[in-house]
Structure formats: structure tokens, C-alpha cells
Amino acid sequence: MLLCNNSRQDRRRRQPPRRRRQDNSDSESGDSRARPWSDYNSQTPRRSSNYQQHTRLPPFTGQETWKVYYNHFCDVADLQGWDDRDRLRELLPRLQGKAGEFVYDQLGRTVRTDFRQLVTELKNRFRKVETAKTFSAQFSRRSQHPGETVEEYAAELKRLYDKAHTGRDKEIRREDLVRRFMDGLLDDRAGSQVEFIREPEDIDTAVYEVVNYVETRRRTKNSNLDQASRSRKAARVRAVRGESPTNSTDGSGDSDADEEIRAIQHRQYGKGQRNPAPAQNKHASKPPPVTDAAQVTTTEPTDACKDR
């Protein structure tokens, strides 16, 4: 027995000590309560550089507004965390058309490899010099173009007015916009109807009233055309049947009027008869018959006539 106990003790000594399992769930739950939110943000994995290659930006050809394009480019660059070198790498391939010809034909390599100098040259070349007077002149001459919706026309008036008159009083701005909107409408009838009858308070109300008036007029016109079409079809059916025309506009004969006309014509002309004589009305008045006495009266003169 003593030997067996000694052998067991020797085996235990030879074996490596077992590691105790730690309850990770308890430790994590305890840490999550103690750690602030900033620690989680610091441990958020950064996006790899390959993500930048999937960014889609439109090309700049020189036809677009440089200010709008550059603001869009800078917003995307800020979200991606690009530095000047990354921005240069993304901007150069997107310079096409007139912009590409200007950069690669007139600018030197030193300017092309410096993002800030390149942006300065592009701004000086493709910017549009527009002042408050320019926008004011455009606003005073602005009218609705053919094919332009009323909503688009009103939005353009707002844009021009806000650039021309910054900080203008709200009441004056409201009156100026309504006046310019009414004067520039292509539909003079709708403009007169809305301006003198509805009297809109602002340009948004004027847009609503004009759209509503145009839609109501279109529906009324279509309804009148449908009613006239139904009346013509009903008249054709009565003419083929040989009936007397009436002034009823109840829409009788509207459904399948053409098919009914063809069916009637087939029954009348199906046996080879061509252009039959129109049916006479049974109730039509007939001339009175001529009697013998009348013939004698008209042909032979009386004795009094002979004496004369």
C-alpha cells in the first residue's frame, strides 16, 4: 500500500497543473458596466485602405459648376478621412473633357502634384463670377420656360431672389416672389384666374392654386369631349335605324355603338342590297286624292267666265 501511494504521488508531481477556467461572461459584464463609452469607440476597428477604392464620384468635365462639384468632393473626402495626397489621387483621374485638357496641357507637373495649387488653378479657370446684381437681373427677366413645370419655375425664382437680395424683409420677399411668379407664367389664363380670384398670399400657395386650376380645367375638357363623343355615336345609331333625331343627352348608345351600327348595316345590306332607299315615315302626310269634280273645275271654265 505504501508503494502504491508513493507511485500516485509521483504521477501527480509529473503532470502539469491544470489551469482554472475563468468565467468570461461575468468579467465582461462587469467590465461593460465600468468602462465608459469612449473606450468602445477607441476599440472600433479602422476601415482598411481598400474601402477608398470603392468610392464613386462623378467626373468633372468643365461643364458642371465648380463650386458644387468641389463641395461634394470635399464632403466625401472628409467622411473617408483622406489627406491631401489621397485627395489628389482621387481627383486627377476624374478631370476629363475641358478640365482634363486644361490640367494636362497648360499646367506643369509641379502644380499637378500639389493638391492645393491644383484646386486653386481649377477654381480660377472654371468658376463663374456672379454677384448680387447678376442674380437680380436674372430674377427680373426670369419666366417659365416651355416644358418647365410650375414647381421647378417657383424653385428657381426662390434661388435667384435669395442670392440677389440677402437679408431682405420677409413681407417684401413674399410680395416680390408672387408678382414675378404670376408675370412669368406661360398660362396667362391660369395666372389671371389665380391672381385676381384666389389672391394667394405667398408663392407656395400660388403654385398650389395654379396646379389645381390646370388639373380641374383638364378634367372638365376631357369630360366635355367624352360627352360629345357619346352624343355623336348615339346620333349615328339613330340615323342607321331610321329614327328621328332627338336632343336627349342621356348617353344612350354609348356602349358598343359602333358594333351596333355594323350589326344593323349587316342585317340591311347582308343580302347584297346596296344603298337602299331611306325608309319613309308612316305618319307622313300624303297629298289628297284628285277627284273628277276638281278636274272639271280646273279644266273647264264656268258660264260666267265664258260670258266675260
272 conformational bin, left if phi > 0, alpha if psi -120 to 50, beta if neither: left
Find out whether 96 and 61 touch, Cβ atoms under 8 Å.
yes
**Cα 202 to Cα 34, 135, 175, 197, 266, distances in angstroms:** 57, 21, 7, 14, 64
* Alpha helices per DSSP H over the chain: 2-14, 24-34, 37-42, 66-80, 84-91, 97-106, 109-112, 115-126, 132-141, 150-164, 170-183, 188-193, 203-241, 257-269, 292-299, 303-307
Query: Would you kindly state where each structural domain of the chain is located, as residue ranges?
Result: 56-126
C-alpha cell at 126: 472654371
Share of the chain above pLDDT 70, in %: 56
Q: How far is Cα 197 from Cα 213, in angstroms, rounded to an integer?
A: 11
Instruction: Name which residue leads in pLDDT, 142 or 55.
Output: 142
Q: How far is Cα 136 from Cα 142, in angstroms, rounded to an integer?
A: 10
Dihedrals φ, ψ of 60, to 5°? -115, 115
Q: Tell whether the model's pLDDT for residue 155 goes beyond 90.
A: yes
Query: What confidence tier does 234 reach under pLDDT thresholds 50, 70, 90?
Result: confident
Count CB atoms within 10 A of the CB of residue 127: 12
What's the pLDDT at 239? 73
**What's the pTM value of the predicted model, to 2 decimals?**
0.47
Q: How far is Cα 53 from Cα 50, in angstroms, rounded to an integer?
A: 6
What's the pLDDT at 32? 44
Q: Tell whether the model's pLDDT for residue 244 goes beyond 70.
A: no
Count CB atoms within 10 A of the CB of residue 255: 10
Q: State pLDDT tens for residues 186-195.
A: 988 888 888 8
Find out whether 153 and 186 touch, Cβ atoms under 8 Å.
no
Q: Which residues of 20-36 are buried (b: 16+ CB within 10 A; e: fewer)?
A: eeeeeeeeeeeeeeeee
